[in-house]
Chains A and B, each alone.
Chain A
């Protein structure tokens, strides 16, 4: 009897505490997500520019956006980067995971150092590559000169090389993919692999026919993470090319940033922000579908 009363009390007290315990998290959620997302959506339908009063103008901003060649370039570049990051980038990470999972003597060392570029700020990564690719003192051109290739381009400024130079600052650094896939691989039943080994399967065959199919869900997840990370790359672009030359390396975040903070066209900027959120959602939905994430497997 006494104990039952105790438990009921516990449930009652809970309600008061419940509100208190949820309050801080809810408050920052409202401040940083709920209010800004509502403002974003609402003002994307207005003619708001700095210091003016916003007036409703329907979908004018969206129409303007899709007639703006710069915006079209930003979308095209971002989509291409999303595609590369959800295919090539994760392939590199998965291959590294398969190799490191064999637990040769070097695996821990490689996993540790591979993570370095992912752990330091992307602004610093941008700076690092600005210096590496510098035409007068950069390592890349000095190295090329040393092996006899003179007149190497100014990578970030040359219209033929800028896109590739920016891509190389993030494409090969797939350590988070590697870590996620390796973590998932620990859940594989060792008996299955042992049986395959007894049947004479090589390590390569086991990777391709047993391990990879079991990694489908996690690979899908990394594809989502890879694709959506391309909607976050303001820092590296600002540090390296600032979207140039022309708008060859302009991406969505930089378009949003410049429209809001340089051109001060808030309504237009926020419409492009809405488009960017939608791009992320579509990518998530599409990749989920391709990999069949969330579906029951038999």
Chain B
């Protein structure tokens, strides 16, 4: 019995250890190597660099317009997040709070996006955006990101709206507040936790998105961070250090947002579970 327990415990120990190693190990290795010289990198090992130098970072910034890509990513990320949570909350509000004809239909079509793999739509969306002169534009890209996050935001927000007592609106209305004001200044502020969850998920989606950024933008002036690595992979091929530094620069913001807003991410992901 005791032997059995020891075996179970060591299995658990090994499993957890492996999980930690595969999750943190590669990132740590890249982080350390990003401060090393090319010679040190080729010599290998996992030790600390001889001297901590930021030369790789400045090299990476010279090899690729990473700063421009950063700005584009921030614009597309923040823009689509603000628009996504505000405008989609409006739709979620009327879906969650009122009885009207066609409500079921709208609820259904707004969740359809979950069933459509984005890659299937690459060419049609490229065509649509080109026709609307929204190709190679951050606005066009942001519109796509708003829509990609549509099922999640509508779901997160409407579940939360349903928990707010209806008397609140009735009394606000009787006090003379109009429909929009009731929504914007009384109801919406109550949904801060849900807004936060939806916003974090939308921001990470926009920040990390690859395939539409690849096909819907065409110039360095409009490209976002995830495709920087793809386009400059060959430039970095001769300068390993810069390649490591560029990867770290792409990865850091996502990890920072996640660590700071971990509760929102976790609750956002698990709120999807209720649906299952």
Contacts and interface: CB of A to CB of B under 8 A. Distances in A.
Nearest to B266: A179
Interface of A: 3, 6-7, 10, 13-15, 17-18, 20-22, 24-26, 28-29, 31-33, 35-37, 39-40, 43, 95-96, 99, 106, 110-117, 119-124, 126-132, 136-137, 139, 142, 146, 172-173, 175-176, 179-180, 182-184, 204, 217-218, 220-221, 228, 231-232, 234-235, 238-239, 252-253, 256-257, 260-261, 266, 269-270, 273-274, 276-277, 280-281, 284, 293
A253 B19 contact: no
Contact of A95 (B15, B148, B179): B15
A11 to B, nearest CB: 8
Among all A-B residue pairs, the 3 with the closest Cβ atoms? A221-B276, A183-B270, A32-B147
Interface residues of B, number: 96
Contact of A37 (B45, B123, B124): B124
Interface string B168-179: 011001100011
Interface of B: 8, 12, 15-16, 19-20, 22-24, 26-27, 29-30, 33, 41-42, 44-46, 83, 87-88, 90-91, 93-94, 98, 100, 106, 109-110, 112-113, 115-128, 143-144, 146-148, 150, 154, 169-170, 173-174, 178-180, 183, 204, 207-211, 214-215, 225-227, 229-230, 233, 240, 243-244, 247, 250-251, 254-255, 257-259, 262, 265-266, 269-270, 272-273, 275-276
Nearest to B247: A127
A116 B174 contact: no
If over half of A's interface residues share one DSSP class (helix, strand or loop), that class is named, otherwise mixed; here it is: helix
A135 to B, nearest CB: 11
A170 B41 CA distance: 26
Contacts of A266: 123, 127
A95 to B, nearest CB: 7
A280 B29 contact: no
A47 B120 CA distance: 18
B275 to A, nearest CB: 8
A261 B212 CA distance: 12
If over half of B's interface residues share one DSSP class (helix, strand or loop), that class is named, otherwise mixed; here it is: helix
B45 to A, nearest CB: 7
A85 to B, nearest CB: 14
Given A117-B22, A123-B226, A252-B117, 14 more contacts: A25-B154, A28-B143, A33-B121, A119-B254, A119-B257, A119-B258, A127-B250, A131-B240, A175-B23, A220-B276, A232-B117, A232-B211, A256-B122, A269-B123
Contacts, number: 282
Contact of A261 (B121, B122, B259): B122
Given A120-B208, A128-B27, A137-B41, A33 B226 contact: no
A270 B117 contact: no
A182 B270 CA distance: 9
Contact of A180 (B42, B118, B272): B272
B116 A132 contact: no
A150 B125 CA distance: 48
B16 A99 contact: yes
A269 to B, nearest CB: 5
> Taking each of A13, A17, A112, which has the highest tally of chain B beta carbons within 10 Å of its own beta carbon?
A17
A31 B147 contact: yes
B23 to A, nearest CB: 5
Contacts of A29: 109-110, 113, 147, 150
